[in-house]
């Protein structure tokens, strides 16, 4: 997909559709990139994360989990706040470890 340049700010952004874990089509919009390459890299990395493969570093896995946090119900949110805090502590040591060898 292409990246676009904002005429007002001069920064780059991407806008694309993807299929979430539930099979629903979602639109993703992210802006504020300094270069076109950064914008396209973001889209590529996002697509890899959404494929559901565990062939990623732990930090990327955590970011994917955190991004989906807002889709959870209230009861799960309370529990997940504790999980997120714990994982953030683990990230200090394990951020660059592969999930699968």
pTM for this model (two decimals): 0.51
- Residue reference for tokens 């504020």: 32
Cβ–Cβ < 8 Å for 30, 37: no
Domains of the chain, by residue range, sit at 3-51, 58-99
pLDDT of the chain, 101 residues: tens digit per residue: 689 999 999 999 999 998 876 678 889 999 999 999 999 988 988 887 777 666 677 787 777 777 766 666 666 767 777 788 888 888 888 878 777 75
62: tokens are: 């955590």
Q: Give bridge partners of residue 15 from the DSSP assignment.
A: 29
């Amino acid at each position: 997909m292409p990246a676009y340049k904002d005429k007002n700010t001069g920064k780059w952004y991407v806008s694309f559709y993807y299929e979430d874990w539930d099979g629903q089509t979602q639109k993703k919009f992210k802006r504020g990139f300094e270069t076109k390459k950064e914008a396209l890299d973001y889209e590529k990395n996002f697509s890899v994360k959404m494929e559901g493969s565990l062939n990623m570093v732990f930090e990327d896995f955590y970011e994917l989990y955190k991004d989906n946090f807002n889709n959870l119900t209230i009861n799960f949110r309370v529990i997940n706040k504790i999980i997120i805090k714990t994982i953030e502590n683990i990230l200090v040591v394990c951020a660059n470890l592969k999930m699968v060898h």
